[in-house]
């Protein structure tokens, strides 16, 4: 192949002279093998051109979500293992006016099913949960976001049956790291990690009066799911958890 070479307007005279000395018959693969480092700036340019970091405050500063979940976990009291199922219906609300630091609130209703205990047989304690949270957006690009959230959940549920009552107070600090990768215009893949623990006090009153200390040691787990963009700053998603609790969570999110 012969003919006049055309160079981009931003190349310098020295660069054009060097390019002219290169043989047009040199195989591209051979060139890449001899200087693979030359590909790094090109790859970086592609990545940067396809993303957009969000540095300015959001136009809609309130992030509100409804959560429905069913999680199973194991609590331990000395040598005894207690299987516990927790169902929750609640909300989260974050002030997202500043992406780097977003204070939030967790609030909702909870139902528990405690197995492996004779004294609580037939009981389904229910009550409330509440707690503060703090979220930070580490990366907010066009097709990828990475967030970290620290939270502390306090839960209190109660039930009684045949003269015996039980009150379970639950304390759960946790740290979440979540990534969302948009694979189509409306669908994103969610992948996250979670680290946390549970400390609880089970207070029995009535026929038997005693307090049992329950706990779940610090646990590192994961979760994954899909999110659908509903349009109008709304999203809906599903998450499968294998972390502090194992189970499924549905959520509906809206920015205001």
Tens-digit pLDDT profile for residues 130-145: 999 999 999 989 899 9
Enter the DSSP assignment of 154: E
Rounded distance between C-alpha atoms, residue 83 and residue 247, angstroms = 13
Rounded distance between C-alpha atoms, residue 200 and residue 213, angstroms = 6
Tens-digit pLDDT profile for residues 23-37: 444 444 343 344 444
Q: Tell me the average pLDDT of the chain.
A: 83
pLDDT at 58: 55
How confident is residue 14, by pLDDT bands cut at 50, 70 and 90? low
pLDDT at 59: 60
Enter the DSSP assignment of 228: E
Among candidates 181, 173, 182, which has minimal Cα distance to 149?
173
- Label residue 196 exposed, middle or buried (CB < 10 Å: 0-12, 13-18, 19+): buried
Instruction: Copy the structure tokens of residue 72.
Output: 């199973």
> Where are the domains positioned within the chain?
13-49, 62-255
Instruction: Copy the structure tokens of residue 97.
Output: 């006016």
Rounded distance between C-alpha atoms, residue 132 and residue 152, angstroms = 6
Tens-digit pLDDT profile for residues 85-141: 999 999 999 998 888 889 999 999 999 998 777 778 778 999 999 999 999 999 989
Task: Give me the CATH topology for the region 62-255.
Answer: Lipocalin (2.40.128)
């Amino acid at each position: 192949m012969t003919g006049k070479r055309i160079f981009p307007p931003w190349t310098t005279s020295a660069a054009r002279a060097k390019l002219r000395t290169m043989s047009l018959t040199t195989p591209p693969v051979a060139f890449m093998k001899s200087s693979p480092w030359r590909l790094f700036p090109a790859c970086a340019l592609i990545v940067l051109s396809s993303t957009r970091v969000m540095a300015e405050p959001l136009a809609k500063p309130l992030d509100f979500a409804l959560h429905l979940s069913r999680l199973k976990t194991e609590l331990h009291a000395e040598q005894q293992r207690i299987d516990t199922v927790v169902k929750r219906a609640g909300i989260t609300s974050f002030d997202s006016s500043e992406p780097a630091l977003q204070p939030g609130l967790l609030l909702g209703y909870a139902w528990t099913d405690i197995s492996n205990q004779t004294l609580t047989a037939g009981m389904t304690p229910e009550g409330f949960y509440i707690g503060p949270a703090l979220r930070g957006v580490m990366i907010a690009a066009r097709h990828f976001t990475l967030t970290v959230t620290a939270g502390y959940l306090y839960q209190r549920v109660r039930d009684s049956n045949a003269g015996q009552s039980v009150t379970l107070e639950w304390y759960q600090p946790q740290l979440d790291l979540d990534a969302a990768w948009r694979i189509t215009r409306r669908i994103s893949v969610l992948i996250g990690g979670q680290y946390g623990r549970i400390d609880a006090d089970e207070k029995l009153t009535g026929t038997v009066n005693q307090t049992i200390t329950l706990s779940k040691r610090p646990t590192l787990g994961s979760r994954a799911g899909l999110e659908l963009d509903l349009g109008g700053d709304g999203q809906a998603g599903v998450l499968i958890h294998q972390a502090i609790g194992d189970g499924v969570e549905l959520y509906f999110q809206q920015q205001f």
